[in-house]
Amino acid sequence: MIDHIKLASSKSKGKRPYFHEDPAVERVLNITMAIAGELAVMRERMDTMERLLEKKGLVSQEEIDAYVPETKEEETQRQEWHSEYISRVLRIVQQEMEELENPDKSIADIANDIDKM
Amino acid sequence: MAKNLPPVWNKIAKHAMMPETNHDERARYNFLASLNKHLAHVSQGNKMAYEKRVEPAFKAKNGRNIASVEELQEAISKDSHYQIWSSLRRSTMEMRQQAGRSIVLRQAEELRDKAEGFNKGKSTLVLDPNCKVPEYLLAVDNHLMPGSYHTELIEGDVTPAANYDSGIFVTTAGLLGRYNDGGGKAITSWVKKTYPDFAPKRILDIGCGMGHNVLPIARAFPNAEVIAIDTGAPMLRYAHARALDLGVTNVTFMQMDAAKTIFENESFDWVQSTMFFHETGGKSIYKIMNEVYRLLKPGGLTLHIEQPQYTNDMTLFEKFIRDWDALNNSEPYWSKMHDIEPIDLMQASGFRKEDFMQIGAKAENDLDDGTQKAEEPEDHGRSPIWNVFGAIKN
Ligand SMILES: C[S@@+](CC[C@H](N)C(=O)[O-])C[C@H]1O[C@@H](n2cnc3c(N)ncnc32)[C@H](O)[C@@H]1O
């Protein structure tokens, strides 16, 4: 059997062009676009589920669209989810800020420090 | 209503060879078709960035206008809009290949078996293990398709064609119709209208690929013997099985190099190619055209559907942006071929100047339900508006 997962992502012949000064930008953009794609795929699946639920008379799309949290607890749970999600996605920005606030030594320096401890 | 929506992928016609797709795989194709369409609109921003920023900055620095495509390339490559558009487009094309391959490779064996079911024992599929893949096809994977048209990952592989068939919808945003055959249909209609008495007995299609564009021709002339050749065995296996499933039985698919065929002099009434020459090479293109001339009967017709032609009155920017796909979507010969005038190419093979013809053709799209009627900016990559050139041999 062929390794279909690996082969599906094979490179084509010819040097890959990079358009930004720093290839890292290109790399991150490509990863981000792949995730954007998977989000669209997920959204389409949700759409299918909502429509099937409606067809079977279980939940209507209006009900879903009109839904708002009904208790304080539900409100908090939702907002907590958003907060945690955003923090997870923007982790690196937060860490860069922490570093700015609290300039750190490099781990190599710390190793030298520890060596003397 | 939103303008310019590409049709959903599941609108394209199903036939026995079309790979199975699950919900997420179809959704991925839908996403990529929309993304592709979006970028075709955003690419209008390149012109704006060029006119408003790149050109004025160059002028201020050098005291003169940009004088060549090379200078333009150098200057625009530092523009941030151009950079993000380019990397997004490149990434979309790579994702399209990944999405298609992830569908077909997981079912490579099933697809192979289906094709074998149709192909076994049929005299209308003639493979030749001694046929060499032209070196220009070995040098690059055209439009970023890993392994090109010939690579066989398993014995009897058909996945390159299955990938092409299921995914071309994405690159053209559905503009080629349910069977991806808008080009073949357009040329058939044109020939029927222009030459109502033309009754070809033998027709040759060179570089037929997965055969989608030769089928409308074969259907329009059911009594003709149609031969379709290609060097890629996976393409031919798939094309033959696909044609039989779609009920077309008057096409023989043969593995053969168009530059040196085995056919006799003056043995065809019509020699056709579709989106073929821009994926050949600088010497081969002449050899192939010589062969076309040799094979045509006197009074025979030859037509070649190609990418839009470059013209001298095009601005530097237009020339540059048209080459974008050639270089960054790996269609390298396309960037060279436009230096050859079709009329010169044909005259070099013996066709007469006064017999040369050139027309424009637009895909006949049976998927168009009105949602595509909005003003369409020209997509410099895969626009369904082509240049057709050809001649009658006299
Ligand atoms: C872009 S595809 C075009 C397929 C099809 N005609 C269409 O309408 O889309 C080009 C095809 O030409 C084939 N090809 C390239 N050079 C060839 C040659 N010298 N002889 C035969 N086939 C060739 C490739 O294998 C490939 O399948």
Are residues B165 and B17 in contact, defined by beta-carbon separation less than 8 angstroms? yes
Q: Which of A36, A52, A67 is where one domain is finished?
A: A67
- Establish if B1 belongs to a structural domain: no
Task: List the CATH number of the domain containing B205.
Answer: 3.40.50.150
Quick one: A25 and A59 in the same domain? Answer: yes
pLDDT tens digit at each of 394 positions of chain B: 566 788 899 999 999 999 999 999 999 999 999 999 888 877 778 998 999 999 999 999 999 999 999 999 999 999 998 999 999 999 999 999 999 999 999 999 999 999 999 999 999 999 999 999 999 999 999 999 999 999 999 999 999 999 999 999 888 888 899 999 999 999 999 999 999 999 999 999 999 999 999 999 999 999 999 999 999 999 999 999 999 999 999 999 999 999 999 999 999 999 999 999 999 999 999 999 999 999 999 999 999 999 887 777 889 999 899 889 899 999 999 989 988 999 999 999 999 999 999 998 888 888 876 555 444 545 544 455 789 999 999 9
ipTM for the predicted complex comes to 0.82
**Token pair of B355 as six digits:** 């017999």
- Establish if B19 belongs to a structural domain: yes
Nearest-CB residue to B328 (from A17, A30, A45): A17
Quick one: A28 and A59 in the same domain? Answer: yes
Which numbered atom of ligand 1 lies nearest the CA of B149?
25
Quick one: A107 and A80 in the same domain? Answer: yes
- Residue nearest (by alpha carbon) to ligand 1 atom 21: B230
Locate the chain A residue with the closest alpha carbon to B73: A19
Long-range CB contacts (within 8 A, 24+) of B188-193: B188/B216, B188/B217, B188/B219, B188/B220, B189/B364, B190/B359, B190/B361, B190/B388, B191/B220, B191/B270, B191/B301, B191/B303, B192/B220
Give how far Cα B243 sits from Cα of B163, B181, B218, B228, B253, Å. Answer: 17, 12, 10, 11, 10
- Establish if B166 belongs to a structural domain: yes
Other Cβ atoms closer than 10 A to B245: 17
Cα–Cα distance, B78 to A20 (Å, whole number): 8
- Residue nearest (by alpha carbon) to ligand 1 atom 23: B207
In the block, which residue shows the tokens 């790579």?
Answer: B94
A33–B32 CB contact, under 8 Å: no
Quick one: B178 and B284 in the same domain? Answer: yes
| Residue numbers in A near B139 (CB within 8 A) | 13
Quick one: B25 and B43 in the same domain? Answer: yes
Expressed as residue numbers, the domain containing B113 is: 9-121+137-170
Type of residue at B66: I
Other Cβ atoms closer than 10 A to B178: 16
- Establish if B132 belongs to a structural domain: no
**Token pair of B10 as six digits:** 């599941």
In the block, which residue shows the tokens 């907590």?
Answer: A80
Quick one: B78 and B183 in the same domain? Answer: no
Q: Measure B336 CA to ligand 1 centroid, in angstroms.
A: 17
B91–A37 CB contact, under 8 Å: no
Cα–Cα distance, B381 to B37 (Å, whole number): 11
| β pairing state of B356-362 and B251-255 | unpaired
Q: Measure B279 CA to ligand 1 centroid, in angstroms.
A: 7
Are residues B309 and B342 in contact, defined by beta-carbon separation less than 8 angstroms? yes
